Amino acid sequence: MGTRQRIVVAGGSLAGHSAVTELVGLVPEAEIVWVTGEPHKTYSKPALSKEFMQARNELAELTLPDVAGDRPRGLRILRGRSCVSLDASGRAVTLDDGERIDFDQLLVATGAAARMPGMLRGVDGVFPLRTLDDAVAIRARLADRPKVAVVGGGLIGCELAASVRAFGLDVTIVERLDTLLDRPFGGALGSYFLDLHRANGVELVMGAMVERVALEEGRVAGVHLADGTEIAAGLVLVGAGSEPCTQWLDGSGLQVGDGVLCDAHLATSSPGIFAAGDVARWTNPIYGLRMRVEHWTNASAQGRAAARNMVALATGRQDLRKAFADVPYFWSDQYGQKIQMVGWHEGHDRVELDRSGDVPGPLARFYRNGRLIAAAGVNAPRVVMRLRRQIEDEARAAEAA
Amino acid sequence: MKIIVDRQRCDGNGVCMGIAPEVFDVDDDLYLHVAETIPEDPELRARVRQSITSCPILALKLVEE
Ligand SMILES: Cc1cc2nc3c(=O)[nH]c(=O)nc-3n(C[C@H](O)[C@H](O)[C@H](O)COP(=O)(O)OP(=O)(O)OC[C@H]3O[C@@H](n4cnc5c(N)ncnc54)[C@H](O)[C@@H]3O)c2cc1C
Ligand code: SF4
């Protein structure tokens, strides 16, 4: 590359922050253009449904440190601007204000957005939770002490319910399935979660579908279920899952399928273009499977790994090139309980539930063909982290065999 | 390299431990232990710095390089 290399990073959350930090350190001579999407500095999303929702911390305490301290010379931060299209073969992105930026390399770190069922969209008093702006809006409504309905008993829904209960408000969770947190924990801790929420005073309406919202003077007054029941609520919080932000890549030629498709090195189908974080569906060598992991630690580690592989490709520095082989990890906080999950439970053929009392809470181990692939536990970080290492060791042994 | 933990804030979620288990260890009372001395290894130190910026409640501070 004769002239100064230009790298564009799209996405201003953790994956982007972690990649830019690494790039600034590794290639200070490069020009880095960081297009952040949201107008805010990078902030902690996990806190939004937990500490921040419970008013236990404020915006300043959510904001991550600036990249590399003060402003590195080659870094241009375009805050509050978004990429609207990509020309993969022409090596350029176009921004929402029409500016076209040529690049040598691109990192797609545009994350995911909340899924909002059509009938819940645009109704006063109905909110998803994905961004700081969502959280601020919800907090403002909590001040009126409304009755709250939570649509969806997944991670966001359950954490919101727990946080709202901390204010002593009435909360009802409406969930399509018969268990809470089915997908994240592979169904294994279902009855534990039902008991936990009931014991903390949450009304649970299980196996129920929301059909439409009830309105009063243009504002939400509750939700109607498919069986005709009405649940009164002045505030409706929606945790209906998320979707990767890839619309802007339509027509770019980049291979996309529920996320940007990447190889084990986080490289996409187009040379020099990489992806990281919630938007990336990469081949994880630990499992030999393509997966999209939507967790905080993954976004941090992948942002860094993608940046290193990008620099390896551009400069030939082979010492930086490494496949991203990782056992996923996430935690959740509900009513002061620390719930942790490691690994990937999809495709498991056996679950072992341990309530022996040797561990502080229930512990589940997931196996496939006799190999440990995932584990979930409550208030047992050391055991869970030990199992994380075991999963990795068994994967490497299986590969070597 | 010296790290300070804000005990008021740290809730033991183990994100730091997930990124640099050689240095951070959360016990079953959700108390975070940090290694007294951190080896000179640049790769490890880079991960420690990354743990600090990745703490979701910003409970970690690096006080000496
Ligand atoms: C309320 C909540 C609680 C959570 N709790 C936990 C938890 O307890 N534990 C855990 O492990 N994980 C948790 N997560 C998940 C974790 O926050 C995500 O995995 C992480 O934020 C992913 O980071 P990311 O950078 O990949 O994407 P995101 O955080 O989704 O950010 C994507 C960024 O890209 C920007 N963007 C989007 N489109 C464009 C575009 N076209 N051009 C430019 N920029 C664009 C967006 O504005 C955004 O800033 C939680 C998430 C939420 C929302
Ligand atoms: S990441 Fe932060 S909150 Fe979590 S254990 Fe480490 S220091 Fe504590």
Q: Which atom of ligand 2 is nearest to the CA of B12?
A: 5
Residues A236 and A249 reside in one and the same domain:
no
- A73 versus A329: the higher-pLDDT residue is A329
Q: Which residues line ligand 2 (CB under 6 A)?
A: B 5, 10-16, 24, 26, 32, 55, 57, 59-60
Residues A210 and A145 reside in one and the same domain:
yes
Strand order through the sheet with A219-225: A210-216, A219-225, A230-232
Asked if pLDDT for residue B29 goes beyond 80, the answer is: yes
Give the pLDDT confidence of A47-64 residue by residue, as tens digits.
999 999 999 888 888 999
User: Does A324 reside within a domain?
Assistant: no
Residues A122 and A195 reside in one and the same domain:
yes
Identify the closest residue of chain B to A26 by CA–CA distance: B46
Residues A361 and A256 reside in one and the same domain:
no
Residue A357 is predicted with a pLDDT of 65
Q: What is the largest CA-CA distance in chain A?
A: 68
Residues A124 and A233 reside in one and the same domain:
yes
Give the pLDDT confidence of A182-228 residue by residue, as tens digits.
999 988 898 899 999 999 999 999 999 999 999 999 999 999 999 99
The DSSP output letter for B31 is: P
Residue A68 is predicted with a pLDDT of 65
Asked if pLDDT for residue A70 goes beyond 60, the answer is: no
Asked if pLDDT for residue A1 goes beyond 50, the answer is: no
Distances (CA, A) of B43 to A90, A268, A331: 35, 26, 25
Q: Which residues line ligand 1 (CB under 6 A)?
A: A 10-16, 35-38, 45-46, 48-49, 82-83, 109-112, 129-130, 156, 245, 248, 277-278, 294-297, 299, 330-332
Residue A54 is predicted with a pLDDT of 94
Give the pLDDT confidence of A363-379 residue by residue, as tens digits.
999 999 999 999 999 99
What's chain A look like in SS3?
CCCCCEEEEECCCHHHHHHHHHHHHHCCCCEEEEECCCCCCCECCHHHHCCCCCCCCCHHHCECCCCCCCCCCCEEEECCCCEEEEECCCCEEEECCCCEEECCEEEECCCEEECCCHHHCCCECEEECCCHHHHHHHHHHHCCCCCEEEECCCHHHHHHHHHHHCCCCCEEEEECCCCCCCCCCCCCCHHHHHHHHHHCCCEEEECCCEEEEEEECCEEEEEEECCCCEEECCEEEECCCEEECCHHHCCCCCCECCCEEECCCCECCCCCEEECHHHEEEEECCCCEEECCCCHHHHHHHHHHHHHHHHHHHHCCHHHCCCCCCCCEEEEEECCEEEEEEECCCCCCEEEEECCCCCCCCEEEEEECCEEEEEEEECCHHHHHHHHHHHHHHHHHHHHC
Residue A358 is predicted with a pLDDT of 66
Report the DSSP pairing between strands A329-334 and A289-291.
Answer: unpaired
Q: For residues A120 and A151, is the Cβ–Cβ distance under 8 A? A: yes
Q: What are the tokens at A114? A: 């909340």
Residues A176 and A236 reside in one and the same domain:
yes
Residue B43 is predicted with a pLDDT of 87
Closest among A122, A140, A124 to A132, alpha carbons compared = A140
Residue A359 is predicted with a pLDDT of 66
Residue B26 is predicted with a pLDDT of 93
- A160-173 core/surface letters (b: 16 or more CB in 10 A; e: else): bbbbbbeeebbbbb
User: Does A174 reside within a domain?
Assistant: yes
Q: Mean pLDDT throughout A156-160?
A: 98
Q: Mean pLDDT throughout A167-196?
A: 94
Indicate the Cα dihedral angle B30, B35, B40, B42, nearest 10°: 0
User: Does A327 reside within a domain?
Assistant: no
Asked if pLDDT for residue A72 goes beyond 70, the answer is: no
CATH number at residue A62: 3.50.50.60
Cβ separation A382–B13 shorter than 8 A = no
- B58 versus A361: the higher-pLDDT residue is B58
Identify which of B11, B50, B52, B62 to mutate to test ligand 2's pocket (most ligand atoms within 8 A of the CB). B11
ipTM of the complex: 0.90
Q: Which domain holds residue A361?
A: 336-400
Residues A174 and A210 reside in one and the same domain:
yes
Residue A19 is predicted with a pLDDT of 97
How much is the CA Rg of chain B, to the nearest whole Å? 11
User: Does A191 reside within a domain?
Assistant: yes
C-alpha A327/C-alpha B17 separation (Å) is 13
User: Does A298 reside within a domain?
Assistant: yes
Task: Report the mean per-residue pLDDT for chain A.
Answer: 94
Domain boundary among A188, A208, A240: A240
Q: At what angle do helices A190-199 and A155-165 cross, to 10 degrees?
A: 20
Residues A136 and A233 reside in one and the same domain:
yes
User: Does A325 reside within a domain?
Assistant: no
User: Does A328 reside within a domain?
Assistant: no
Residues A234 and A274 reside in one and the same domain:
no
Q: Mean pLDDT throughout A279-295?
A: 97
Residue A350, strand partner residues: A367
C-alpha A162/C-alpha A235 separation (Å) is 15
Number of domains chain A is built from: 3
Asked if pLDDT for residue A16 goes beyond 90, the answer is: yes
Asked if pLDDT for residue A113 goes beyond 80, the answer is: yes
Contacts of B48 by beta carbon, 8 Å cutoff, 6+ apart:
B1, B3, B20, B23, B38, B62
Q: What are the tokens at A70? A: 């003060």
Looking at chain A, the whole-number percentage of residues with pLDDT higher than 90 is 88
Give the pLDDT confidence of B35-47 residue by residue, as tens digits.
989 999 988 998 9
The DSSP output letter for B22 is: T
How much is the CA Rg of chain A, to the nearest whole Å? 22
Asked if pLDDT for residue A69 goes beyond 60, the answer is: no
Distance A62 CA to ligand 2 centre (A): 13
Asked if pLDDT for residue A2 goes beyond 50, the answer is: no
Residues A122 and A193 reside in one and the same domain:
yes
- Chain B residues whose C-beta sits inside 8 Å of any chain A C-beta: 9, 11-15, 17-19, 21, 25-28, 30, 46, 50, 53-54, 56-58
Q: Which CATH architecture has domain B2-63?
A: 2-Layer Sandwich (3.30)
